[in-house]
Amino acid sequence: MESNGIAGRHGLEGDADLQFLLKGGELQKVRSSSWKKSRFFKLQEDCKTMWHESHKTLKSNQTFSIDDIESVRRGRQSEGLLKYTEDWLEDRCFSIIFKGRRKNLDLMANSTEEAKQWVTGLEKVINNMDNLNRHQKTEHWIFNCMRKADKNDDNKMTLKELKHFLRQINIEVDDTYAEMLFAQCDKSESGTLEGHEIKQFYNLLTHREEIDVIYTKYAQTEGRMSAEDLLNFLVTEQRQSVSLDDAVKLIQKYELDDTAKQKKQMTKDGFLMYLHQPEGMILNPAHVQHTEAYIRALMKSCRCVELDCWDGPNGEPIIYHGYTLTSKVLFKDVIKAIKEYAFKTSEYPVILSLENHCKLEQQKLMAQHMISILGSALVTQPLGEEMPTCLPSPEELKGRFLVKGKRLNKLDAFFTSNSTVEDDSVSEEDEAAESSKENGEKRKPKKSKIKLAKELSDIVIYCKSVHFSGFDHARENQAFYEMSSFKESKAVNLAENSATAYIHHNVDKLSRIYPAGSRTDSSNYNPVPMWDAGCQIVALNFQTPCKEMDLNQGRFLPNGRSGYILKPEFLRDPESKFDPITLNKGEWLEHKILHVMVISAQQLPKLNKDKSKSIVDPLVRVEIHGVPADIATKETHYIENNGFNPMWNENFKFDIRVPQLALVRFVVEDYDTTSQNDRIGQYTLPFSSVQNGYRHIPLLTKNGDVIPSAGLFVHIMVLDAQ
């Protein structure tokens, strides 16, 4: 019954870092300035679980799964380590950050080398787990559940253990059915299942009727799919323009049976394998280039970070969001963390949006910290030899940081002898100046002026903050490098009542939208109308999992989740007549019909792990987000007590008029008669990235992590409206 331990090592056999982890070692666990205790940590033989000793009375030891780790951060990159360890220990420290709400593990190794080896080893094992293909992941999931259900660890399963196992994998089976399944597999009539009997039982469980139907229809060669049969399927159902050669390549890549592979045939197992791979997913693989990686907002490819800066003690500026009650952190520590993680998921430029409430002295220090920490990555003068006339492209700024803030003079001061300072004090009224220093109690008057340090002013190049005084004023007076910030309510008003003027404004100038200060709960506004009006920097509270964040993640899925995507042509054209509200005629109107058949789902997680009875009653909702005329939502009926392989086979039809701005969101919920449905998972992607045909859809948690093994299976057809 033991799943193949080597699966976890796939490709890492004999690796020195892996051997180091398997051997294990002492690490100091840091909880506070007084609580630092030595504990033994090691990777277990399955290469999927970390074990560590615990001195709690009831727990002789503790384990956590490699799957639960979001990232490993080298150095003092957590609040705890910054607070409770000395600067000189930087190279010996690292943190394990978990998905969800679990507390970080802050650790300290005995030497720099050991710390390095722990981090490298863990990153290898994490990447390895991510790369285990879908098939292995599913088996791993099943075997884990079986192991938990095998109460007495005898590698055999009784009927009672079997029922416990079915609960674990989220499927309700009535007693007669359970007994029948059990008898079917218990060939030796020993009253327990073992070895190959468990495997057969697993096969019965993973049987997918809907896949059989599709496979049988196209498997016209000795009961299998030949390369020609597969090509027929790819062209007819998946509506792909591919060649016989492409079909052969898929067989080589995904067929598990060697004899079939030699005959250039695909078995049903191989076909199921293909359907679970990127080629069989709903998101067009041509639109994905990067992999998931590090620190949370930057790692979700956030490319504009707001830094709310205040005078701190000991002459050091601090960052603090007065209204949202976050803790205070040193400005220089934040800049260090940003430098470390800014370009892990994307090389495209990061804008540091300064909310400056500091006096001159500490402003100078802010400038010094940015220059010394960010070095040559910081843009401190315009690119090129002469005064530019438009913003550089993100391509030209890869790996660079831009400071957004106030500037004392015009940008052409770099190229002329004109050093006229327009005004040495600037208005602080823009942006979140409505958030104030002590928890929002003492609001600053709106029009307060602050002195601006020349050193800070000089590093503001392409993102100079200016006040917005209307579109006519901006057209006459605003330079391309000057940008305004709009509070959400103001932006919504403009997007609804002067959309075309807003679109023109955004053709050659940047606009940043920010959540209202009154959102003390860090909730979010709907970003879609802002994007429809061509706004580029639609700032959201990245720390809050919500539908708006799902839409944001979905919007930026293409271009390898790099945090930048090109606006449609009609939002970049200075003569554009596009208006998302009235939907006048133009090239943006490409009326499409989207047919979605929601077929089935697989292995939906139980939401309340404590209640052994709580099997889910799943339903699926399909939503379209885009211009007002395209907004729509439809949902399936719910299926009672089956999260393992519920089948709906329900068809939905949507009209989409501006496909380039539309997003499609799939939500799976647990139906509840008495209260609000609980969300199981969701996936959002741009309509233009949707692939036709039979497609699997991964499901993401609230925090945007993939739920292992879970997924939706759908059929998609996009047609031109007649």
* pLDDT for res 419: 62
Which of 115, 132, 149 lies at the terminal end of a domain, its last residue?
A: 132
* pLDDT for res 460: 95
Q: Could you read off the pLDDT of 355-384 as tens digits, one per residue? A: 898 999 999 999 999 999 999 999 999 998
Question: Are residues 246 and 121 both part of a single domain?
Answer: no
Question: Are residues 78 and 9 both part of a single domain?
Answer: yes
Q: Is the predicted pLDDT of residue 439 greater than 60, yes or no?
A: no
284-302 burial by CB neighbour count: b if 16+ within 10 A, else e?
beebbeeebbbbebbbbbb
Q: Is the predicted pLDDT of residue 206 greater than 70, yes or no?
A: no
Q: In the predicted model, what is the mean pLDDT of residues 84-106? A: 91
Confidence of residue 518 (pLDDT cuts 50, 70, 90): confident
Which of 572, 600, 617 lies at the terminal end of a domain, its last residue?
A: 572
Report d(CA 185, CA 637) in Å as an integer.
33
Which of 105, 132, 159 lies at the terminal end of a domain, its last residue?
A: 132
Confidence of residue 135 (pLDDT cuts 50, 70, 90): low
Question: Are residues 419 and 351 both part of a single domain?
Answer: yes
Domain residues for 248? 209-280
Q: In the predicted model, what is the mean pLDDT of residues 110-134? A: 86
- Residue whose C-alpha is closest to residue 623's, from 666, 580, 565: 666
Range in 348-352, 519-523, 668-672 with the lowest mean pLDDT: 519-523
- Element holding 124 (H helix, E strand): helix 112-131
- Residue whose C-alpha is closest to residue 720's, from 632, 591, 631: 591
Burial class (CB in 10 A: 0-12, 13-18, 19+), 446: exposed
Is 266 part of any domain?
yes
Q: Is the predicted pLDDT of residue 448 greater than 50, yes or no?
A: yes
Please give the residue that has the higher pLDDT: either 416 or 405: 405
Range in 126-130, 386-390, 564-568, 587-591 with the lowest mean pLDDT: 126-130
Question: Are residues 482 and 372 both part of a single domain?
Answer: yes
Q: What is the pTM of this model?
A: 0.74
Question: Are residues 257 and 370 both part of a single domain?
Answer: no
Question: Are residues 408 and 555 both part of a single domain?
Answer: yes
Confidence of residue 323 (pLDDT cuts 50, 70, 90): very low
Question: Are residues 654 and 533 both part of a single domain?
Answer: no
Copy the structure tokens of residue 629. Answer: 């005329």
Is 390 part of any domain?
yes
Question: Are residues 621 and 687 both part of a single domain?
Answer: yes
- Contact by Cβ (8 Å): 149, 162: yes
Is 464 part of any domain?
yes
Is 291 part of any domain?
no
Please give the residue that has the higher pLDDT: either 424 or 20: 20
Confidence of residue 130 (pLDDT cuts 50, 70, 90): confident
Q: In the predicted model, what is the mean pLDDT of residues 81-102? A: 90
* pLDDT for res 415: 83
* pLDDT for res 7: 41
Confidence of residue 296 (pLDDT cuts 50, 70, 90): low
What CATH number does residue 550 fall under? 3.20.20.190
Amino acid at 588: W
Q: Could you read off the pLDDT of 376-398 as tens digits, one per residue? A: 999 999 998 889 999 999 999 99
Q: In the predicted model, what is the mean pLDDT of residues 415-440? A: 54
Q: Is the predicted pLDDT of residue 154 greater than 80, yes or no?
A: no
Is 513 part of any domain?
yes
Q: Please provide the average confidence, as pLDDT, over all residues in the chain.
A: 84
Those residues with Cβ within 8 angstroms of residue 251's Cβ, 6 or more apart along the chain or in another chain: 227, 230, 260, 261, 264, 265, 266, 270
Please give the residue that has the higher pLDDT: either 475 or 12: 475
Is 580 part of any domain?
no
Q: Is the predicted pLDDT of residue 287 greater than 90, yes or no?
A: no
Question: Are residues 533 and 417 both part of a single domain?
Answer: yes
* pLDDT for res 139: 58
Name 304's bridge partners.
351
Q: Is the predicted pLDDT of residue 442 greater than 70, yes or no?
A: no
Number of domains in the chain: 5
What CATH number does residue 126 fall under? 2.30.29.30
- Residue whose C-alpha is closest to residue 634's, from 649, 621, 624: 621
Please give the residue that has the higher pLDDT: either 644 or 721: 721
What CATH number does residue 139 fall under? 1.10.238.10
- Contact by Cβ (8 Å): 527, 540: yes
Q: In the predicted model, what is the mean pLDDT of residues 165-187? A: 68
Confidence of residue 134 (pLDDT cuts 50, 70, 90): low
- Element holding 116 (H helix, E strand): helix 112-131
Please give the residue that has the higher pLDDT: either 149 or 210: 210
Confidence of residue 610 (pLDDT cuts 50, 70, 90): low
Three-state secondary structure string covering 460-480? CCCEEECCCCCHHHHHHHCCC
Q: In the predicted model, what is the mean pLDDT of residues 141-154? A: 68
Is 287 part of any domain?
no
Question: Are residues 166 and 90 both part of a single domain?
Answer: no
Question: Are residues 404 and 320 both part of a single domain?
Answer: yes
Q: Could you read off the pLDDT of 27-64 as tens digits, one per residue? A: 999 999 889 999 999 998 878 889 988 876 565 568 88
Is 586 part of any domain?
no
Q: Is the predicted pLDDT of residue 673 greater than 70, yes or no?
A: yes
Question: Are residues 397 and 503 both part of a single domain?
Answer: yes
Please give the residue that has the higher pLDDT: either 104 or 207: 104
Q: Is the predicted pLDDT of residue 117 greater than 90, yes or no?
A: yes
Q: Could you read off the pLDDT of 487-501 as tens digits, one per residue? A: 999 999 999 999 999
